[in-house]
Structure 1
Amino acid sequence: MKRKLISAIGVAGMMISIAACGGGDDKAGADGYAGQTLTVWVMDGSSPDQWQKDVAAAFEKKTKAKAEFKVQQWNGIQQKLTTALSEENPPDVFEIGNTQTPAYAKTGGLADLADLKAEIGADWTPSLNASSIYEGKQYAAPWYFANRVVLYNKKIWAEAGIKDTPKTRDEFYADLKTIGEKTDAEPIYLPGQNWYHFVGLVVGEGGELVKKDGDRYVSNLAAPKVAAAMETYKKFQALSKAPKDKDEATPQQGEVFAKGNVGAFIGMGWEAGIATKANPKLEKDIGYFTIPGATAGKPEGVFLGGSNLAVAAGSKKQELAKEFLKIALSDQYEGRLAKLNGVIPNKESLQSNLKGNPAAEAAAPAAAGGGTTPLIPEWAAVENPPNPIKTYMTAVLNGKSPAAAAQQVEDEFNKRLAQRS
């Protein structure tokens, strides 16, 4: 994949009131839905052209209607989609970032898909479907996802005498220590503000970044489980020479890895492409494994980035839109998308389509136990720079206790949570 699948981008402050016009009666007649055209917005890079053509052909064969795909750019999509959903003829079906979904559901812009879930979603992976649910209702359908893995330099690990990839967090740490002791390489490149990895550690601890205080959400960074996740992060970060006040894109960690003197880093599978573009000779030495958790057989918690498919509440073709989703999300086409793009499908039973893609095979085991940032509309403003969670992380890495660092950012964190979308 050439782009990030993470879609946790701020929506607060951009959302305008979306007046749901209400879907019209588009029941099929004797000739099906002949003569109708369904508008489908998908994001650039999400689905190959051939996949779109094949889904459109299957849709037309079943319904006698046409599906018109319109590819959108990620840059500026929130404002464009917000505006489109408030108009008389919104896109009927559209791709939406998984962590953006609650904000759009809150505005009334998304149709309730409870009947679709009942018909085709019984075996959707719960962790992947969680972002499609808002206040107990199904407002979208899970489409595709990705999560972080360990990318490692096989040559360096062999030089350190390590034969097998680690199965537990302690083994992982011990292996990195061995690399530091037996080679000249930096054991792991882990910048201080790789905060999506930190979110995964919080998920793995069973923690929450926010909590309810009456009728509002407030910071939960001072909670013991969040502190435990940060202590784990700090332990591994101490093995790295990476800056404590930068994230994984400053500089691009794939470019750092490309220099050939780093044992491992935690990132998305596609980041290997950044490394090999900078150093093509490194390609044969790159390996992947699932981020190990506290115990063998249970991977570390990971942040699940990805997209859902939704139907506009203002669409006059909601029934036809659901027919489209039944095809696009079918085992045939969901599995094909996973195979072509190397993304995690919405059902564990479809992960066999990832066979032969080492990065995707490493990512898949962690998906069932993964999670996201808090699925509340209020969350969007938290991520706007300067992100208070990044500030918290750097403070801990520079010597503050997790409790003191949490207190340092609490006012700003809560101020952002109080902003209304």
Structure 2
Amino acid sequence: MKRGLIAATGVAAMLVSVAACGASGDGSDVAGSGGKGKTLTVWFMSGSNPPEWTKKVQAEFEKKTGAKLKVEIQQWNGIQQKLTTALSEQNPPDVVEIGNTQTAAYAKAGALADLGDLKKEIGADWSESINMAAIVDDQQVALPWYVGNRVVIYNKKIWADAGIKDTPKTRDEFFSDLDAISKKTEAEPLYLPGQNWYFFDGLTIGQGAQLVKNEGGKWVSNLADSKVAKAAQIYKKYQSFSKAPKDKDEATPQQADIFAKGKTGAIIAMGYEAGTAIKANPQIQDQIGYFTIPGETPGKPEGVFLGGSNLAVAGGSKKQELAKEFLRIALSKDNDGQMVKEAGWTPKTPSSASLAKESPAAAAAAPAVAGGGTTPLIPEWAAVENAPNPIKSYLTAVLNGKSPDGAAKQIEGEINKRLSQKQ
């Protein structure tokens, strides 16, 4: 999944006309012959829709409804402006993909249709942690399409050379294994740059912490929370096993390219990054293994950031029922299974976790889903992530010797400034 940060600032102001457009489909666009002569337009982001899944869903939809499906691929760069404009027009795309942490901004602007009844019909058993990013003010404004979370991708040869016979079940066991690699091999135990802030967000989730808090009716930084500080200290311990720069993120350089050289014990990464490593060095393929990021105690994985996309129906679409029929098909258990098998995404239901066996990365990711979460699901959060991301600066400050409390005092003014920006 390759995506740039999409700032949602200004979405509400640019979508004031959406509510007036309404969601008043005439009811004639139902499945079966009701779709004949109609075309449903769907926007997917580049790289999101796997080819076999797309072919399968399109064939099922067109056969069942008699309508045509028009898939339009969009680029992440600049999508905020383009989607904002499209959703405020008289004839918007009927179904749109929206990054899960950006959904709240569009929902607050009244741009998305209520899908509560459809969720009950097709997603009653979806994991709550995956669905929560599709709920805004207790309203189901979208449906989760795909989600991925980080796992440990490790070099089995290096671990064997260090005398390690099994994967760790607790955080302390993981640290012990990394220490063994450091002492018994020439490899770098872990490649963890100082600003892999999505991993840090997972650690804060594992500590039961939030990066922001509501104070007097407005959102402010919560970096000074002792639980956030504990997460920062855990991150610092992980980073002590790495020679990676403290002021760079996992994409600068691409950590998968570093791992591909075969001199790194492990990286904490999205499962698809193994494919990037294999492409860079095909000889490493048989050396790659995966395991769930372990937490403090056995059987309870570390908290993880659940990143992915939702599918939503435009509030102004005149094909509401046809759009919902598309979602019934696209998000069916069978087609969800196809997404897991073809793209390696995390299963949305505990009962479908067995599908992940065909994808070792997905199998490693699945156990952590129940305890996973996201960045704060508020429209104000989008501005916080804009470059230069202050959470990254906070991590670098901690790694360079500042106490978590001192780093928080240094950074929280900038976070509060961004949280106060008008949406």
Establish whether TM, by shorter chain, passes 0.5.
yes
- CA–CA distance in 1 between the matches of 2:51 and 2:417? 44
Verify: 1:343 aligned to 2:357, yes or no: no
Tell me how far 1:109 sits from its aligned partner: 0.7
- CA deviation string 1:19-66 (max 9, x = no partner): 220123332379423222111111222223332232222223332222
Tell me how far 1:351 sits from its aligned partner: 2.4
Structure-2 change in CA distance of 1:50 and 1:270 (3 Å): closer
Tell me how far 1:397 sits from its aligned partner: 0.8
| Partner residue in 1 for 2:419 | 417
- CA–CA distance in 2 between the matches of 1:53 and 1:154? 36
SS at match of 2:397: helix
| Partner residue in 1 for 2:92 | 90
| Partner residue in 1 for 2:287 | 285
Counterpart AA for 2:8: V
SS at match of 1:32: helix
What is the percentage of aligned positions where both structures have the same residue? 65
Of 316, 319, 325, the match for 2:318: 316
SS at match of 1:69: strand
Verify: 1:183 aligned to 2:180, yes or no: no
Of 165, 170, 173, the match for 1:171: 173
Counterpart AA for 2:9: A
- CA–CA distance in 2 between the matches of 1:68 and 1:16? 29
Aligned pair count reads 418
| Partner residue in 2 for 1:225 | 227
TM-score (norm. length: structure 2)? 0.95
Structure-2 change in CA distance of 1:286 and 1:50 (3 Å): closer
Q: Which consecutive residues of structure 2, in runs of 5 or more, have no partner in the other structure?
A: none
| Partner residue in 2 for 1:70 | 72
SS at match of 2:144: strand
SS at match of 2:371: coil
- CA–CA distance in 1 between the matches of 2:247 and 2:53? 42
Verify: 1:11 aligned to 2:13, yes or no: no
Of 200, 205, 208, the match for 2:207: 205
Tell me how far 1:189 sits from its aligned partner: 1.0
Structure-2 change in CA distance of 1:10 and 1:334 (3 Å): same
- CA deviation string 1:220-264 (max 9, x = no partner): 001011111111001111111111111111111112222222111
TM-score (norm. length: structure 1)? 0.96
| Partner residue in 1 for 2:24 | 24
* Aligned residues of 1:7 and 1:307 also touching (Cα < 8 A): no
Tell me how far 1:324 sits from its aligned partner: 1.2
- CA–CA distance in 1 between the matches of 2:401 and 2:143? 43
Of 188, 192, 195, the match for 1:193: 195
Counterpart AA for 1:23: A
Q: Which residues of 2 match residues 8-407 of structure 1 at below 5 A?
A: 9-13=6-10, 16-18=13-15, 19-20=17-18, 21-28=21-28, 31-407=33-409
* Aligned residues of 2:111 and 2:314 also touching (Cα < 8 A): yes
Structural RMSD (CA): 1.6
Tell me how far 1:350 sits from its aligned partner: 2.1
- CA–CA distance in 2 between the matches of 1:276 and 1:319? 43
SS at match of 1:368: helix
SS at match of 1:99: helix
SS at match of 1:266: strand
Structure-2 change in CA distance of 1:49 and 1:184 (3 Å): closer
- CA–CA distance in 2 between the matches of 1:64 and 1:275? 43
- CA–CA distance in 2 between the matches of 1:45 and 1:372? 21
SS at match of 1:308: strand
Tell me how far 1:9 sits from its aligned partner: 2.8
The runs of at least 4 consecutive aligned structure 1 residues that moved more than 4 Å come to: 13-16
Q: Which consecutive residues of structure 1, in runs of 5 or more, have no partner in the other structure?
A: none
Tell me how far 1:120 sits from its aligned partner: 1.7
